């Protein structure tokens, strides 16, 4: 069974060829660096870049593996959430291939695919467990009773973690994307230099909020700029902000495991690449006797391997999507929420 995965939800164009469930034959990811100059993703530029790159990447992936389009048995494609124009490039390509080859098509939820990236690990997690999903657009704590059976335990009430990193990076004029540039700047900083708030840490809810933390960084940045000390303080600001975010995520994640009785925490999404977060989760998990599973770096960001793995999972459960499947930008998480 050979699955072609296609991912074009934002600013990464990715193609993967997955044999059966775990043999990744080819995995290509192209990041669109042109967005750095604008401090964020420009949707029209992203769509055009996907359009130019996608078919050559599929051809290259097949050529590198010595396969042809006729060898493809299933096509999986991200249908949302994401940028509508970018998504449509991938969806139209996937539909065209499905029609031309006479192959089944499965549309994939981008957020769920981040979670299912962990199914590609040599020793994948087995439900039940708690998942921390942290990406540019989502921050969720989810109880996973089985693959496809989810209960949202907590979520951000405002900005997702990835959005907060991007906005703080813009305040500090560090560039884009925010996660990597803040982590780089924080390497030379003191995480205790600024006592930034840890929002909702004492709140009984498992929900999170990062707007207050972001505002605290903004006020401190303005004050330092007025006194002429901003440039020297950037490493400390970055380190202190990063530490506050990690404290909140670790605290809420461990509490979610305690409440659900889970002894395993699975982490997914682009922010899972953050070294401080990974280290603190590992250390706290060891102390609390909770197994922490984080996928390798290449499976944390937007990628087609996770799309292909999700597609084959649902295909084997009998799911097939028609050529009328559409794209959606937001609001696709219809998972139940714990009361």
Q: How confident is the model at residue 338 (pLDDT cuts 50, 70, 90)?
A: confident
110 and 302 in contact (C-beta within 8 Å)?
A: yes
d(CA 196, CA 248): 12
210 and 156 in contact (C-beta within 8 Å)?
A: yes
d(CA 35, CA 22): 33
Check residue 331 and give its pLDDT.
63
pLDDT tops 80 at residue 332: no
Between the alpha carbon of residue 148 and those of residues 50, 99, 123, 269, 326, the distances in Å are 29, 27, 19, 17, 20
pLDDT tops 90 at residue 177: no
Domains of the chain, CATH where assigned? 2-115+301-315 (3.30.420.40), 126-294 (3.30.420.40)
Q: How confident is the model at residue 41 (pLDDT cuts 50, 70, 90)?
A: confident
d(CA 332, CA 327): 10
d(CA 108, CA 314): 9
Residues 6+ apart with CB under 8 A from 226: none
DSSP for residue 273: G
Q: How confident is the model at residue 135 (pLDDT cuts 50, 70, 90)?
A: confident
pLDDT tops 80 at residue 226: yes
Average pLDDT, the chain: 94
Return the CA Rg of the chain.
20
Q: Please write the tens of the pLDDT for every residue from 48-63.
A: 999 999 999 999 999 9
pLDDT tops 90 at residue 289: yes
d(CA 330, CA 179): 22
**Cα–Cα nearest to 28, from 77, 72, 62:** 62
Lowest mean pLDDT among 89-98, 201-210, 216-225: 201-210
Mean pLDDT over 245-254 rounds to 97
């Amino acid at each position: 069974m050979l699955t072609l995965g296609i991912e074009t939800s934002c600013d990464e164009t990715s193609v993967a060829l997955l044999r059966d469930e775990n043999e990744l034959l080819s995995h290509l990811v192209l990041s669109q660096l042109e967005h750095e100059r604008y401090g964020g993703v420009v949707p029209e530029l992203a769509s055009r870049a996907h359009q130019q790159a996608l078919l050559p990447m599929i051809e290259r992936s097949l050529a590198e593996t010595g396969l042809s389009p006729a060898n493809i048995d299933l096509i999986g494609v991200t249908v949302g959430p994401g940028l509508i124009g970018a998504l449509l490039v991938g969806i139209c390509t996937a539909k065209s291939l499905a029609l031309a080859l006479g192959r089944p098509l499965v549309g994939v939820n981008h957020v769920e695919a981040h979670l299912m990236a962990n199914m590609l690990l040599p020793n994948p997690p087995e439900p039940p467990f708690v998942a921390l999903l942290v990406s540019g657009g989502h921050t969720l704590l989810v109880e996973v009773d089985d693959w496809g059976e989810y209960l949202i335990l907590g979520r951000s009430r405002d900005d997702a973690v990835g959005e907060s990193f991007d906005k703080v990076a813009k305040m500090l004029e560090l560039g884009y994307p925010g996660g990597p540039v803040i982590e780089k700047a924080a390497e030379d900083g003191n995480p205790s230099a600024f006592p930034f708030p840890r929002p909702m840490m004492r709140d009984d809810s498992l929900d999170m909020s990062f707007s207050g933390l972001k505002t605290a960084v903004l006020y401190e940045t303005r004050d330092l700029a007025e006194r002429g000390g901003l440039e020297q303080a950037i490493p400390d600001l970055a380190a202190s902000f990063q530490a506050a975010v990690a404290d909140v995520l670790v605290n809420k994640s461990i509490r979610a495991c305690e409440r659900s009785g889970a002894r395993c925490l699975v982490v997914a999404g682009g922010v899972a690449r953050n070294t401080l977060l990974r280290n603190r989760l590992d250390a706290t998990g060891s102390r609390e006797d909770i197994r922490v599973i984080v996928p390798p770096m290449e499976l944390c960001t937007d990628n087609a391997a996770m799309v292909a793995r999700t597609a084959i999972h649902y295909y084997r459960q009998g799911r097939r999507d028609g050529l009328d499947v559409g794209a959606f930008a937001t609001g696709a998480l219809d998972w139940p929420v714990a009361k």
